[in-house]
Amino acid sequence: MGAKRTSLEMYRLKKVLDVLASKEGRGTELISLYIPPGRQISEIIAMLRNEWGTASNIKSTTTRKNVQDAIVRVIQRLKLFNKVPENGLVIFCGAIPQGGPGTEKMETYVIVPPEPINIYLYRCDSRFHIEHLRDLIREKETYGVILIDSSEATYATIRGRRLEIVDEITSGIPGKHRAGGQSARRFERIREARIQEFFKRAAEYAEKIFLPIEDLKGIIIGGPGPTKYEFEKGGYLDYRLKEKVIAIVDTAYTGEQGVKEILEKSPEIMRNVRYVEERRIVQKFLYEIGHDTGLATYGEREVRRALEVGLVDTLLLSEALETIRVTIKCSSCGYTYHETMKRTELLGFSQSLVDKPCPKCGMQALEVAEEKDLIDELAELAEAAGSRVEIISPETEEGQMLLKSFGGIAAILRYKMEQH
Ligand SMILES: [Zn+2]
């Protein structure tokens, strides 16, 4: 599989999907179309023509017209492709109200997914169905799952939304209730020894299954009751596996049911893994700042300067940065300059430009020519300079510190910055 998704790619995909998620139709008239690789364009067009015919039964005139118009648009877009791209194709199209009633505008989004989509879906709804694309941007690394209680152990892998049960073993240990005539102490002793044997065997299976998996990102241990903690603490696991344990989770069951429970909780578990990563990155920055090594800098102006001279090793940007970079242009002489501001300040700012003279020609002809998220703008600079970009959430203490104490923009440097 491909390289690890960067936090920047995740951020960008998430943003597009957020835009799509915010779109709502007047009625059930927004089309979502997922075409997996290998399908014929002609076959899809035939299906859409058929849907166009069916849509003539829709009672509401406006909805009928919007649905049929959308279908025609989708067909037009499809005709631009000779064949379905190798990762498949996703098209969203529909009339989106821009304000009050009657303000609908037909919007079309064509997305070639970054990875193969293996789903065929045609749906007409009041919203766009983006959940299958969301699945794509989920964590793609492999996680190992060990579910254990005193009677059995289940081994599984989780990759995105896919889970695979790899193996299951049973302990053969009878329940806690001893047979009549047996002494309680003797029963306990025997049971304890058998559990230890089972733990050893369970750990051997874990080694056999998980050690060969390259890039195993983490291991989640689960199961009902306290057995899983005893197993984890008992030192049965190979150290290479033990250091990969990222969570110990309560589940009601072992077996497939239990693995499904883990899958349900996995977004949260994996988010926590990312938080640990984020904290480490910010702590590295804080160390450089705190020890005055000269290998870190912060604030938009300083970081921009470091980026421009190629000094930045890692650029840290707070996800909560609601700042934009505005390009102001004089429509009389063409003079341009930039300003950075909060997104909420943009309206007031553009109004204030009306009676402001151009710094070059003096005419009152300044206007906002472009606005761009500062995150996108700085990230592009960093990519051009070959710097790593880390988008840091505000969810951790370190993330808050980056945002509040350092303005949400910081950099770890390759070399010391020259004094100026
Ligand atoms: Zn001017």
Residue 354 CA to ligand 1 center (angstroms) comes to 13
Span from the CA of 363 to the centroid of ligand 1 (angstroms): 6
Ranges of the chain with pLDDT below 70: 1-5, 137-140, 176-182, 418-420
Q: In angstroms, what is the span from residue 114 Cα to ligand 1's centroid?
A: 44
Report the C-alpha gap between 339 and 327 in whole angstroms: 7
- Residue 420: the pLDDT is 53
CA of 366 to the centre of ligand 1 (A): 7
Q: How far is the CA of 191 from the centre of ligand 1 (A)?
A: 88
- Residue 181 Cα to ligand 1 midpoint, Å, equals 101
What global pTM score does this model have?
A: 0.65
Return the pLDDT at 339: 94
Torsion of CA 73, 77, 78, 83, to 10 degrees: 180
Q: 57 Cβ partners below 8 Å, 6+ apart?
A: none
Q: What is the pLDDT of residue 270?
A: 80
CA of 301 to the centre of ligand 1 (A): 25
Which pLDDT score, from 0 to 100, does residue 3 have?
Answer: 40
Q: What percent of the chain has pLDDT over 90?
A: 72
What separation in Å is there between the alpha carbon of 356 and the centre of ligand 1? 11
Q: Is 328 left (phi over 0), alpha (psi -120 to 50) or beta?
A: beta
Order of all β-strands in the sheet with 104-111: 104-111, 89-97, 30-35, 121-125
Alpha carbons 39 and 84: distance in angstroms, whole number: 7
The DSSP line for 339-356 is: EEEEGGGHHHHHHHHTT-
For residue range 140-193, list pLDDT tens digits in order.
Answer: 678 999 999 999 999 999 887 778 999 999 998 877 666 666 688 888 888 889
Distance from Cα 334 to the centre of ligand 1, integer Å: 6
Phi, psi angles (nearest 5°) of residue 196: -60, -40
**336 CA distance to ligand 1 centroid (A)?**
8
